[in-house]
A = this chain, B = another copy of it.
Protein backbone atom coordinates (compact mmCIF):
# COMPACT_ATOMS: atom_id res chain seq x y z
CA UNK A 1 0.00 0.00 0.00
CA UNK A 2 1.19 3.46 -0.84
CA UNK A 3 1.42 5.75 2.17
CA UNK A 4 -1.48 8.13 1.35
CA UNK A 5 -2.13 10.83 3.84
CA UNK A 6 -5.61 11.09 5.25
CA UNK A 7 -7.94 12.72 2.73
CA UNK A 8 -5.78 11.96 -0.27
CA UNK A 9 -7.18 10.09 -3.25
CA UNK A 10 -7.22 6.33 -3.04
CA UNK A 11 -8.00 3.78 -5.73
CA UNK A 12 -11.50 3.39 -4.33
CA UNK A 13 -12.08 7.14 -4.25
CA UNK A 14 -11.37 7.43 -7.99
CA UNK A 15 -14.79 5.93 -8.66
CA UNK A 16 -16.32 8.61 -6.47
CA UNK A 17 -14.79 11.48 -8.42
CA UNK A 18 -17.45 14.16 -8.80
CA UNK A 19 -16.36 14.49 -12.40
CA UNK A 20 -13.92 13.25 -15.01
CA UNK A 21 -12.93 16.02 -17.41
CA UNK A 22 -11.25 15.03 -20.67
CA UNK A 23 -9.18 17.28 -22.90
CA UNK A 24 -9.64 16.66 -26.63
CA UNK A 25 -7.15 17.12 -29.47
CA UNK A 26 -4.12 18.03 -27.41
CA UNK A 27 -1.42 16.47 -29.59
CA UNK A 28 -0.92 17.73 -33.16
CA UNK A 29 -0.19 14.35 -34.76
CA UNK A 30 -3.32 12.82 -33.23
CA UNK A 31 -5.39 15.68 -34.66
CA UNK A 32 -3.92 14.89 -38.08
CA UNK A 33 -4.64 11.17 -37.87
CA UNK A 34 -8.34 11.81 -37.14
CA UNK A 35 -8.50 14.60 -39.79
CA UNK A 36 -9.71 16.96 -37.07
CA UNK A 37 -9.33 20.72 -36.85
CA UNK A 38 -6.63 22.08 -34.54
CA UNK A 39 -8.33 23.84 -31.62
CA UNK A 40 -7.44 27.47 -30.86
CA UNK A 41 -8.11 26.77 -27.20
CA UNK A 42 -8.39 23.57 -25.17
CA UNK A 43 -11.80 21.95 -25.40
CA UNK A 44 -13.08 19.28 -23.10
CA UNK A 45 -15.88 16.86 -22.38
CA UNK A 46 -17.00 14.65 -19.50
CA UNK A 47 -16.95 10.94 -18.86
CA UNK A 48 -19.19 9.65 -16.06
CA UNK A 49 -17.31 8.23 -13.04
CA UNK A 50 -18.93 4.86 -13.87
CA UNK A 51 -16.30 4.62 -16.64
CA UNK A 52 -13.47 4.16 -14.15
CA UNK A 53 -11.96 0.67 -14.33
CA UNK A 54 -9.38 -0.03 -11.64
CA UNK A 55 -6.40 -2.39 -11.97
CA UNK A 56 -7.65 -5.98 -12.00
CA UNK A 57 -11.25 -5.04 -12.78
CA UNK A 58 -11.10 -5.59 -16.55
CA UNK A 59 -11.88 -6.38 -19.24
CA UNK A 60 -13.22 -3.31 -20.98
CA UNK A 61 -16.70 -4.12 -22.23
CA UNK A 62 -17.13 -3.71 -25.96
CA UNK A 63 -20.79 -2.92 -26.59
CA UNK A 64 -22.29 -4.67 -29.60
CA UNK A 65 -21.64 -2.86 -32.89
CA UNK A 66 -19.03 -0.59 -31.37
CA UNK A 67 -15.67 0.18 -33.00
CA UNK A 68 -13.71 0.39 -29.77
CA UNK A 69 -10.57 2.60 -29.78
CA UNK A 70 -7.90 3.16 -27.13
CA UNK A 71 -6.35 6.55 -26.31
CA UNK A 72 -3.58 6.50 -23.69
CA UNK A 73 -3.56 9.66 -21.55
CA UNK A 74 -1.90 11.09 -18.48
CA UNK A 75 -4.51 11.64 -15.75
CA UNK A 76 -4.33 14.32 -13.08
CA UNK A 77 -5.99 13.77 -9.71
CA UNK A 78 -7.09 17.14 -8.37
CA UNK A 79 -6.34 17.85 -4.71
CA UNK A 80 -8.27 21.03 -4.01
CA UNK A 81 -11.09 23.16 -5.31
CA UNK A 82 -10.04 25.16 -8.39
CA UNK A 83 -12.14 28.01 -9.75
CA UNK A 84 -11.27 30.73 -12.30
CA UNK A 85 -7.59 29.81 -12.24
CA UNK A 86 -5.26 32.25 -13.97
CA UNK A 87 -3.47 30.39 -16.79
CA UNK A 88 -0.28 32.31 -16.01
CA UNK A 89 -0.24 31.05 -12.42
CA UNK A 90 1.70 27.84 -13.02
CA UNK A 91 2.39 27.35 -9.36
CA UNK A 92 -1.29 27.41 -8.40
CA UNK A 93 -2.08 24.99 -11.22
CA UNK A 94 0.59 22.52 -10.21
CA UNK A 95 -0.33 22.91 -6.52
CA UNK A 96 -3.86 21.80 -7.43
CA UNK A 97 -2.54 18.51 -8.79
CA UNK A 98 -2.44 16.02 -5.93
CA UNK A 99 -1.23 12.97 -7.83
CA UNK A 100 -1.25 11.31 -11.24
CA UNK A 101 -2.40 8.12 -12.90
CA UNK A 102 -2.20 6.65 -16.36
CA UNK A 103 -5.50 6.12 -18.12
CA UNK A 104 -6.98 4.88 -21.37
CA UNK A 105 -9.79 6.99 -22.77
CA UNK A 106 -11.77 4.23 -24.45
CA UNK A 107 -13.93 5.58 -27.24
CA UNK A 108 -16.72 4.12 -29.37
CA UNK A 109 -15.23 5.66 -32.51
CA UNK A 110 -18.11 4.88 -34.86
CA UNK A 111 -20.63 6.40 -32.43
CA UNK A 112 -18.35 9.43 -31.96
CA UNK A 113 -17.96 9.90 -35.73
CA UNK A 114 -21.72 9.79 -36.19
CA UNK A 115 -22.22 12.25 -33.33
CA UNK A 116 -19.66 14.63 -34.88
CA UNK A 117 -21.40 14.45 -38.25
CA UNK A 118 -24.81 15.15 -36.72
CA UNK A 119 -23.64 17.80 -34.23
CA UNK A 120 -24.68 15.59 -31.31
CA UNK A 121 -22.98 15.26 -27.91
CA UNK A 122 -20.02 12.89 -27.42
CA UNK A 123 -21.13 11.61 -24.03
CA UNK A 124 -22.52 8.28 -25.24
CA UNK A 125 -19.44 7.53 -27.40
CA UNK A 126 -17.17 8.27 -24.45
CA UNK A 127 -19.32 7.17 -21.55
CA UNK A 128 -19.93 3.42 -21.50
CA UNK A 129 -19.20 1.55 -18.28
CA UNK A 130 -15.51 0.43 -18.12
CA UNK A 131 -14.40 3.06 -20.68
CA UNK A 132 -11.64 4.49 -18.45
CA UNK A 133 -9.09 1.88 -17.38
CA UNK A 134 -6.68 3.47 -14.91
CA UNK A 135 -3.35 2.57 -13.36
CA UNK A 136 -2.58 2.75 -9.68
CA UNK A 137 -2.29 6.25 -8.28
CA UNK A 138 1.14 7.71 -8.96
CA UNK A 139 2.56 9.89 -6.23
CA UNK A 140 3.23 13.41 -7.39
CA UNK A 141 6.91 13.24 -6.52
CA UNK A 142 7.35 10.35 -8.97
CA UNK A 143 6.63 12.71 -11.90
CA UNK A 144 8.59 15.90 -11.29
CA UNK A 145 8.21 16.98 -14.95
CA UNK A 146 4.75 15.99 -16.20
CA UNK A 147 5.37 17.72 -19.53
CA UNK A 148 8.41 15.59 -20.23
CA UNK A 149 7.47 11.94 -19.79
CA UNK A 150 6.85 9.21 -22.31
CA UNK A 151 3.43 7.57 -22.63
CA UNK A 152 3.14 4.26 -24.43
CA UNK A 153 0.46 1.73 -25.26
CA UNK A 154 0.84 -1.68 -26.83
CA UNK A 155 -1.81 -4.05 -28.17
CA UNK A 156 -0.81 -7.72 -28.00
CA UNK A 157 2.73 -6.47 -27.40
CA UNK A 158 2.86 -4.34 -30.56
CA UNK A 159 3.64 -0.70 -29.85
CA UNK A 160 0.77 1.52 -31.02
CA UNK A 161 1.33 4.76 -29.10
CA UNK A 162 4.63 6.08 -27.82
CA UNK A 163 5.19 9.80 -27.46
CA UNK A 164 6.37 12.39 -25.01
CA UNK A 165 3.98 14.69 -23.16
CA UNK A 166 6.24 17.50 -24.40
CA UNK A 167 4.12 17.33 -27.57
CA UNK A 168 1.01 18.61 -25.77
CA UNK A 169 -0.47 21.68 -27.47
CA UNK A 170 -1.83 23.01 -24.18
CA UNK A 171 -0.04 22.28 -20.93
CA UNK A 172 -1.50 21.60 -17.50
CA UNK A 173 -1.84 25.22 -16.27
CA UNK A 174 -3.71 26.27 -19.41
CA UNK A 175 -6.00 23.21 -19.24
CA UNK A 176 -6.87 23.71 -15.58
CA UNK A 177 -7.40 27.41 -16.17
CA UNK A 178 -9.79 26.88 -19.07
CA UNK A 179 -11.72 24.11 -17.34
CA UNK A 180 -12.00 26.00 -14.06
CA UNK A 181 -13.44 29.06 -15.81
CA UNK A 182 -16.36 26.88 -16.92
CA UNK A 183 -16.76 24.32 -14.15
CA UNK A 184 -15.21 24.46 -10.69
CA UNK A 185 -12.85 21.53 -10.18
CA UNK A 186 -13.35 19.70 -6.90
CA UNK A 187 -10.96 17.67 -4.78
CA UNK A 188 -10.85 14.15 -6.21
CA UNK A 189 -11.83 15.15 -9.74
CA UNK A 190 -9.91 13.49 -12.56
CA UNK A 191 -8.60 15.39 -15.58
CA UNK A 192 -7.28 13.41 -18.54
CA UNK A 193 -4.95 15.37 -20.73
CA UNK A 194 -5.37 14.15 -24.30
CA UNK A 195 -3.80 11.38 -26.33
CA UNK A 196 -0.78 11.29 -28.65
CA UNK A 197 -0.98 9.76 -32.15
CA UNK A 198 -1.48 6.07 -32.77
CA UNK A 199 -5.05 5.50 -31.61
CA UNK A 200 -6.75 2.48 -33.09
CA UNK A 201 -9.17 -0.38 -32.58
CA UNK A 202 -9.14 -3.28 -30.16
CA UNK A 203 -11.31 -6.38 -30.30
CA UNK A 204 -12.24 -8.87 -27.56
CA UNK A 205 -9.22 -10.96 -26.65
CA UNK A 206 -6.73 -8.17 -27.38
CA UNK A 207 -4.52 -7.21 -24.44
CA UNK A 208 -3.68 -3.54 -23.97
CA UNK A 209 -0.61 -2.65 -21.96
CA UNK A 210 0.24 0.94 -21.23
CA UNK A 211 2.79 2.73 -19.16
CA UNK A 212 4.98 5.73 -18.51
CA UNK A 213 8.72 6.00 -18.99
CA UNK A 214 10.79 8.73 -17.43
CA UNK A 215 14.27 9.12 -18.92
CA UNK A 216 13.72 5.70 -20.48
CA UNK A 217 12.90 4.09 -17.14
CA UNK A 218 9.57 2.34 -16.60
CA UNK A 219 7.40 3.75 -13.80
CA UNK A 220 6.05 0.61 -12.11
CA UNK A 221 2.88 2.07 -10.61
CA UNK A 222 1.83 3.54 -13.98
CA UNK A 223 1.43 0.17 -15.66
CA UNK A 224 -1.95 -0.82 -17.05
CA UNK A 225 -2.69 -4.29 -18.38
CA UNK A 226 -6.27 -4.85 -19.47
CA UNK A 227 -8.27 -6.96 -21.91
A interface with B by C-beta (< 8 Å):
16, 18-19, 21, 24, 37, 43-46, 48-51, 63, 83, 115-124, 127-129, 181-184, 186
User: Once the chains are docked, how many angstroms separate the CA of A11 from the CA of B183?
Assistant: 20
- Residues of B near A116 (CB, < 8 A) are 119-120
- Residues of B near A121 (CB, < 8 A) are 24, 43-45, 121-123
User: Once the chains are docked, how many angstroms separate the CA of A184 from the CA of B124?
Assistant: 12
Interface of A is mostly: loop
* Structural contact, B182 and A49, CB atoms closer than 8 A: no
* Structural contact, A127 and B50, CB atoms closer than 8 A: no
Copies of this chain present in the complex amount to: 2
User: Once the chains are docked, how many angstroms separate the CA of A183 from the CA of B117?
Assistant: 23
Known contacts A119-B117, A122-B121; A184/B129 CB under 8 A: yes
* Structural contact, B19 and A124, CB atoms closer than 8 A: no
Q: Which 9 A-B pairs have the closest CB atoms?
A: A116-B119, A45-B121, A121-B122, A45-B123, A19-B48, A46-B46, A48-B183, A50-B184, A50-B183
- Residues of B near A186 (CB, < 8 A) are 50
Minimal beta-carbon separation of A142 from chain B (angstroms)? 29
- Residues of B near A83 (CB, < 8 A) are 129
A124 closest partner in B (C-beta)? B182
| Most chain B CB atoms below 10 A, which of A18, A44, A51, A116 | A18
**Besides A46-B46, A48-B183, A116-B120, 12 new A-B residue pairs in contact (Cβ under 8 A), listed by A number:** A16-B18, A18-B48, A19-B49, A24-B120, A43-B121, A44-B121, A45-B123, A50-B186, A117-B119, A121-B123, A122-B123, A129-B184
